[in-house]
Amino acid sequence: MLKPLRTCTAASRTVFISRIGACLVFLAASSAAFAADDYPKAIQGAVASGMKVTKTFPAASGLTGWVLSQNGRHSIVYTTQDKKTVISGALINESGENLVEQDADKYIPKPDQAALYKELERSSHVIEGTMKNPKSTVYVFVDANCPFCHLTWKALQPYEKAGLQVRWILVDTLGPTSMPKAIEVLAAADTTAAFRKMEENSGKSWTPSPQLTEAGKPEVAEKIRKNGELMGAFGISGTPGIVWKDKQGKVNVKGGMPRLSEIPQITGLPEQKVDDPALARFR
């Protein structure tokens, strides 16, 4: 049975490149096996669009694997022996194994999540829930236009009342209004009230402010872009993305809308009553 989609992702800028779900960030650059002029034309096109080749490797069935990166996000594609065809997405062997996942584990080292968590604490975010002495804290990457982010917000409301503090990290991934909506929140005198208003008006018509634009608020827009880079560094390819520390201090990452049964483990709090009918399918 297929699992329901629970994350919002933006279309890739380069149509032949698909980002794998378990994207991980390189901690040390590794040299490519070929000079740029020797890349297959499709790979040259990716490089021309702003991507970097961080590694090449021999892959299954005579294919060549390519690790590509852009803005802290990585993907793997393959080229055929004649270099004329690029393969992206799943690569399944005769045993039904996804070779892309295996190659990602092998050729894309995991990030230092402890160091990234410190960056997370310094990020530009909106604090909601229990403000003083919270029982637990979680970080959630959100896009203003992401319906699953809105549902996550709904699901966490009872936990906020039970002692949870949520730090919402606004990013720009889902269309031309994502950035101005995020700027409207982060530029507000009361960011928490502005964020709540945004969520309460989710799905409704919205009129942008002529002052709250990238040109009008470049410093705020830059913070939002840095939030997106941080999301990519954690290997989160779509919103919502949740980051938290468990009771042992281990950093955990989850991409997508969690099931209601997962929230107590994520928050470290007892299960709360969630009776919003919009969340029934996530039980």
230 plus 137 within the same structural domain: yes
Domain final residue, candidates 77, 94, 110: 110
Domain final residue, candidates 68, 85, 110: 110
- Mean pLDDT across the stretch 41-58? 91
Model pLDDT for residues 102-135, shown as the tens digit of each residue = 998 899 877 788 899 999 999 999 999 999 999 9
- Cα–Cα distance measured from residue 66 to residue 63, given in angstroms and rounded to the nearest whole number: 10
> In the predicted model, is pLDDT for residue 1 greater than 50?
no
213 plus 194 within the same structural domain: yes
* Distances, alpha carbon 199 to alpha carbons 105, 114, 139, 150, 151, in Å: 37, 30, 16, 6, 9
Model pLDDT for residues 135-170, shown as the tens digit of each residue = 999 999 999 999 999 999 999 999 999 999 999 999
Model pLDDT for residues 54-101, shown as the tens digit of each residue = 999 999 999 999 999 886 678 899 999 999 999 988 899 998 888 988
45 plus 135 within the same structural domain: no
94 plus 118 within the same structural domain: no
At 25, which CATH number?
3.10.450.70
Residue 88 domain boundaries: 1-110
At 274, which CATH number?
3.40.30.10
158 plus 122 within the same structural domain: yes
- Mean pLDDT across the stretch 226-247? 92
Tell me which residue of 126, 228, 136, 140 sits closest to 184, measured CA to CA.
Answer: 126
The SS3 assignment for 206 reads coil
Question: Do 191 and 126 contact (CB within 8 A), yes or no?
Answer: yes
Domain count for the chain, please give it. 2
67 plus 12 within the same structural domain: yes
Model pLDDT for residues 179-215, shown as the tens digit of each residue = 999 999 999 999 999 999 999 999 899 998 898 999 9
Q: Which residues of 24-39 are buried (b: 16+ CB within 10 A; e: fewer)?
A: bbbeeeeebeeeeeeb
Question: Do 241 and 253 contact (CB within 8 A), yes or no?
Answer: yes
One-letter identity of residue 108: I
145 plus 261 within the same structural domain: yes
Q: Residue 211 corresponds to which tokens in the numbers above? A: 């002052």
